[in-house]
Structure 1
């Protein structure tokens, strides 16, 4: 169990930790000279009758060091609020307690220190004052222990209580990927780079490969060579553990406080957060639209502007003591996951205003107040992970990006499969997308309805080209996912395809006998032209047919997949395109690159036409262009169009 101190400066936090553990947590010369805590301090002591260890984080009490206090408090399991009996409740007592409350820490105790300096009546008075202060916070009803750390009075009773709480605590449940934020870094002779930090999620293990990442910097692959957990050599450390991690693959000078040791899937920075934000009752004013604040997170702090998302906007702002949905737009990226706790202070960083939890670390910049978006945020407030994922999928008609889901909810390696029955999920592997079975069925039904309406309006057309159909049915759905939807409907026999045209199975477009005869004549001319077929105007002249009729007939043939149109008024037969596809594949077999000059030489019809044909293959997704000028080449990308 990890215990964090909290309280006003000079109320005896460091002295109390030393009395409880025998460890002096001050390590900087300036701290010893000035007699105050500036940096986070750590102490460890064995739990009686157990191999487990009780860990303490000693935080600074001065108001200038509240950001440091926030970073230390972000990973604790149990709060130890320290109040001096002679001073009583002071400003940082209130602020530290508010921070503990806002960080969601619901377990703790109060140590009334320096009781040997005051009369018993004063101890009773301060004890009552503290109990009144705790009312309305998550620590309401926490036990109060009068102590005198220097003489040892009451220390044994407090230590016995902490031992009892720690002994009753079950081992941490390891969920998701590793998330550890570095708060110190140094080098040890013979070992190399070492970082220390608290494991916020997952597990770190000797031999693991991970990323040492900075949200606004470069990520480095590292290997865990050695590990100390709660000041003892270990093979692995789980959530809540204080770890010293020996890393291979990076110099300690390259690391900064606030860098993260992560499972690779979680290294996805964000500069926007959708939050459920609660203001403290003692906050000095309402928070209006686009108020600037300082947002504190486990990895440090960033300046942010707050966009109100729900009724607070109509009410003129978020009032003290109330809560609401907001989107925080940050001035620098951070790593965040759903459920992370944040604290906001004023823009100058002088007073704590409120805090809350992250609902969506990857929210949209636009349409953030639409009803469907607010419904999705409501789904994200479900406390149970399985219920939350089910509600989230139902509230996402176009599915969820699997990589974004992994990074935003710490569900790497398809951990979402453990939360929901397979029958309720549809995974589109090529698109890396996840749908609820009901939303997938609704999308399919929508395609069939749209196609039916189109067939009624345009009875002489064979169907709709895929991208046009996507824009008609689900423009927000990625193309790869929409293709998977169409192919699933095709496999079920609910959809059919004629060339590039998708249509309902019962919808048939046949050429009349006269049109079929004309079409065959045009196809013969195109086939005879090979790689250099005649243009529409030439075929119209040769067959004594108006250009417009030739053009319309060829377009109908193109919808049936009998011809392809690389450029306006120029058509190639299916067989000729198949020959061109074979040439492209042969050229790519050498070094993976198709060059316009080599393609031109093979088809012998000029550079301009060669480039037009390669651009056609780019357009239909068979190839893709890279480079410019003399370095311009084409690479194979997908399936050929024939």
Structure 2
């Protein structure tokens, strides 16, 4: 199917022409037929030949009071049938409708000069063709017709068929954005909405979300040209039966969307056609699709501005829309959406900087340019903006500009090094702190940066980042001296752990001891019991010389230590697989200890040899 809208001045015969072409009545309201004046949108269709596809017409009102309704009809439609009457010629609403089409960037049209039976159509045709050629429509084919006599209708059908064949095919897999032009209730069927499906495919069973996100609705039925359909592909006039709570959620101007695929925004940056941005009124009405929303204007550059919408809309980069002054005292103005998620302008001079940035933006979706400007962005967010994804994600669905990503990697290395210098006892930079320092939105980005190859590799361990050589703390001189004092004490009696008073005397609190252990200078057997890192090896060698099995008392005497130390030391050796309990009173060295069964690795202490290893060394 191809869908065209009519356009032209009031009472120039738009409805009469589509009635003659289709044999259907576009004026559905009794008042319209009584007054002979189109007041609302009408929808009719026909086949131009037995083997041709359908062409549907959205018939719009031409009166100046109904320009908003005209915009609702023509907004979602890719082509127009422009009508000028031979007996009246070019009129004010002809010019306004043409300005609207130009603002929307419509490029496909046929000109019909109606009432050619009442006046010579040639002067009017020549004038209209010349005016239209100066707009986005360019040079259009034209036909002089009479809906009364039928003259020129066959030629018009030929031109319409040629136009239909030239229209581009929209992508069938595109995200659905259905602007609604009617909504009503049918007994036995519930809520029904109609609109022009401009891209994508609708299927029975699909779920759609309202533009404000207030309702998720299911498609329970589809009609196209009064025929029940299982699916409808764009471009098409479609009636959708909806299932779900629709309290006030569906009416003309509302929109139904593919869920989770659209970015709904209240602030957009736009390029303005024809009129300088500074000459726009401070308040305008933005027309897009069938929707009309009041917007505040902030001029930025010569032809760029920021619009703050009173109602959030699902917009994408490259969308075309129309601005009208409330009251319609000036010609409408076209805008192209440049950015649907623009940065806040809070600093002095931010507006000028933003204007310079917008000057280089074309309104054509540019994935590489968008990534360069945003530096970090989710691929799903970029797609929701209508921008193609230009690269592979660096983490999850996060995309990163290559230059910015390299700068972040350098900054992360510098921050890790700085943190190690400032915190020698605990040199690992917490990953969450790194995220905040770099201003990153997600922890996964820190992990991805840390995993990049580079001259200085970073090590990730237990939620912290370490630089090369900084896995172990660097003990400051006072702490190093205190640790050395403990090591001298233990060198004389390796299993007589210093008492708490001795540790306090040396200034070795819990944090200092943890740093010494991390540095590989001491070994913590349990809380408050500190020995040399090689104490496990030495204890294993001593216990191996005892008759097997042995008791706690025998072990304590052999190790020349107190029960305070012997109990946790034996449990330490049990946990690491060097000894095992025989019963409640006795232990023995494990016969399979050489295989390392049950042993836990510790990167901050030397490997502990087994009892059996010690015996072999003695031999």
TM-score higher than 0.5 here?
yes
Aligned to 2:427: 462
Change beyond 3 A, Cα 1:555–1:106: farther
1:390 aligned partner: 368
> Matches of 1:521 and 1:235 in 2, distance apart?
85
Matches within 5 A, 1:102-113: 102-113=103-114
Matching of residues 335-374 of structure 1 within 5 Å: 335-366=314-345, 369=350
Q: Does the CA contact (< 8 Å) of 1:379 and 1:392 recur in 2?
A: no
Q: C-alpha separation between the residues in 2 aligned to 1:176 and 1:519? A: 69
Give the drift of 1:328: 0.5
The equivalent residue for 1:407 is: 384
Structure 2 counterpart of 1:302, from 293, 297, 302: 293
Q: Quick one: distance in 2 between partners of 1:67 and 1:520?
A: 87
State the Cα deviation string for residues 63-87 of structure 1 (Å, max 9, x = none). Answer: 1111111111112121111111121
- Contact 1:187–1:252, Cα closer than 8 Å, also in 2: no
CA–CA distance in structure 2, aligned partners of residues 350 and 555 of structure 1? 78
CA distance in 1, matches of 2:331, 2:219: 37
Shift of 1:290: 7.8
- Judging changes above 3 Å, is the alpha-carbon distance between structure 1 residues 471 and 223 closer, same or farther for their aligned structure 2 residues? closer
CA distance in 2: counterparts of 1:558 and 1:467, whole angstroms = 25
Return the alpha-carbon distance in structure 2 between the equivalents of residues 90 and 540 of structure 1: 103
Listed as ranges, the matches of 1:516-555 within 5 Å are 543-544=504-505, 553=512
- Post-superposition shift, 1:348? 3.2
Contact kept? 2:281, 2:325, Cα under 8 Å: no
What CA distance in whole angstroms lies between the structure 1 residues aligned with 2:315 and 2:385?
Answer: 7
Q: Cα gap change, 1:87/1:225 in structure 2, threshold over 3 Å: closer, same or farther?
A: same
TM-score normalized by the length of structure 2: 0.73
Distance 2:58 2:282 in 1: 33
Aligned residue in 2 for 1:277: 272
Instruction: Name the counterpart of 2:199.
Output: 201
Give 5+ residue unaligned stretches, structure 2: 487-499, 522-526, 529-619
Aligned to 1:330: 309
Change (3 A) 1:516 1:28: farther
Larger gyration radius, structure 1 or structure 2: 2
Matched, 1:510 2:474: yes
Distance 1:350 1:374, change over 3 A: closer
Aligned to 1:109, what secondary structure does the other structure show? Answer: strand
In 1, the alpha carbon distance for the partners of 2:189 and 2:67 equals 33
| Residues 1-40 of structure 1 mapped to structure 2, 5 A cutoff | 1-40=2-41
Structure-to-structure mapping, 1:47-66, within 5 angstroms: 47-50=48-51, 52-66=53-67
Distance 1:400 1:500, change over 3 A: closer
- More divergent stretch after superposition (491-500 vs 125-134): 491-500
129 and 382 in structure 1: CA distance in 2 versus 1, 3 angstrom threshold: closer
Q: Tell me how far apart the structure 2 counterparts of residues 511 and 490 of structure 1 sit (CA, whole Å).
A: 29
Is the Cα–Cα contact under 8 Å of residues 225 and 237 in structure 2 kept in the other structure? yes
Q: Where does structure 1 lack aligned partners over 5 or more consecutive residues?
A: 313-323, 523-538, 563-571, 574-642
Aligned to 1:426: 393
SS in 1 for 2:65: helix
- In structure 2, relative to structure 1, the CA distance for the partners of 1:251 and 1:491 (3 Å cut) is same
- Taking the aligned partners of 1:371 and 1:541, their CA distance within structure 2 comes to 67
- Report deviation, 1:542: 7.7
Alpha-carbon deviations, 1:496-542, whole Å to 9, x = none? 246665232144632268626858999xxxxxxxxxxxxxxxx9998
C-alpha deviation, 1:351, in angstroms: 3.1
User: Distance in 2 between the 1:376 and 1:277 partners?
Assistant: 15
* Deviation, structure 1 residue 554: 8.0
Q: Relative to structure 2, which stretch is displaced further, 138-147 or 249-258? A: 249-258
Question: Who is 2:569 aligned against?
Answer: none
The change in CA–CA distance for 1:49 and 1:439 in structure 2 (over 3 A counts) is farther
* Distance in 1 separating the partners of 2:517 and 2:405: 30
> Equivalent residue for 1:149?
147
Q: CA deviation at 1:168?
A: 4.7
Give the drift of 1:167.
3.6
Q: Per-residue deviation at 1:254? A: 5.2
Change (3 A) 1:306 1:541: farther
**Residue pair 1:194, 1:252 contacting (<8 A) in 2 also:** no
Once the two structures are TM-superposed, the CA of residue 401 in structure 1 deviates from its matched residue by: 2.8
CA distance in 2, matches of 1:479, 1:86: 67
- Residue 264 of structure 1 aligns to a residue in which SS? coil
Instruction: Tell me how far apart the structure 1 counterparts of residues 485 and 190 of structure 2 sit (CA, whole Å).
Output: 79
The number of residue pairs the alignment matches comes to 506
What residue in structure 1 maps to residue 362 of structure 2? 381
**How far does residue 462 in structure 1 lie from its aligned partner after superposition?**
1.8
